[in-house]
C-alpha cells in the first residue's frame, strides 16, 4: 500500500519530439558519456548512478578510466528506457539486469518477470482508458458551457 510508479517528466516531455534528437553515431562502438547523454536524453549523473546500482552490464573504460559505452550498452539503455516509460520500479529493472548477468539459465525467471510486467502495463492501459472517459465527460460539460456563453446556441 504505497507510492511509487513514476514516469519521469523528462521522458514525457521528450518522448515524441526530440526522440533521437541525436541518432546513434554508427559503428564506433566506443561512446563517451556525453555522447550517450545526447543519445538517450538521460543525464550523465543518471548514467553513472545506473551503473552504481547495478542497472548496467559492466561498462568498459578507456586506459585512463573514462567510460566507453558500446552499441550493446545503447541497446540496453533503449530497453531500460522503455521499461522506465511504463513505470517499472528501478529495483525490478536491477533484478532483471542481474538475471541477464547470471546467464542463460535464468531465462525462465526473466520471462516470468517480463510477463508479469506486461500484465501490469495492460492493466494500466485499461485504467487510463477509463480515466479518459471521465475526462471526456468533464470536458464536454465545460465545452458545452463555453459554447453556450459564446452565443452559439443563442440563435
The contact set with DNA (CB under 7 A) reads: 1-4, 6, 8, 10, 32-35, 37, 43-46, 48-49, 52, 62-67, 84, 89-91
> What is the rounded distance in angstroms from the CA atom of residue 70 to the CA atom of residue 74?
7
| Cross-strand bridge partners of residue 68 | 60
When CB distances are held under 5 to 8 angstroms depending on the partner's kind, the choice from a copy of itself, DNA, none that residue 45 binds is DNA
Residue selected from 53, 66, 124, 152 as contacting a copy of itself according to rule CB under 8 A: 124
Cβ atoms 25, 31 nearer than 8 A: yes
DSSP of 85-132, one letter per residue? Answer: HTT--HHHHHHHHHHHHH-GGGHHHHHHHHHHHHHHHHHHHHHHHHHH
Residues binding a copy of itself (CB under 8 A): 1-10, 12-13, 15-16, 43, 79, 82-83, 85-87, 107-108, 110-111, 114-115, 117-118, 120-125, 127-132, 134-136, 138-139, 142-143, 145-146
Amino acid at each position: 500500500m504505497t507510492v511509487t510508479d513514476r514516469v519521469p517528466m523528462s521522458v514525457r516531455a521528450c518522448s515524441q519530439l526530440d526522440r533521437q534528437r541525436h541518432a546513434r553515431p554508427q559503428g564506433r562502438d566506443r561512446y563517451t558519456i556525453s555522447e550517450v547523454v545526447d543519445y538517450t536524453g538521460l543525464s550523465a549523473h543518471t548514467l553513472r548512478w545506473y551503473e552504481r546500482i547495478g542497472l548496467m552490464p559492466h561498462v568498459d573504460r578507456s586506459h585512463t578510466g573514462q567510460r566507453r559505452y558500446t552499441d550493446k550498452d545503447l541497446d540496453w539503455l533503449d530497453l531500460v528506457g522503455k521499461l522506465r516509460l511504463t513505470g517499472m520500479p528501478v529495483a525490478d529493472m536491477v533484478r532483471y539486469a542481474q538475471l541477464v548477468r547470471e546467464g542463460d539459465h535464468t531465462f525462465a525467471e526473466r520471462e516470468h518477470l517480463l510477463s508479469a510486467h506486461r500484465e501490469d502495463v495492460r492493466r494500466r492501459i485499461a485504467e487510463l482508458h477509463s480515466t479518459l472517459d471521465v475526462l471526456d465527460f468533464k470536458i464536454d460539460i465545460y465545452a458545452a458551457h463555453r459554447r453556450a456563453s459564446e452565443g452559439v446556441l443563442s440563435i
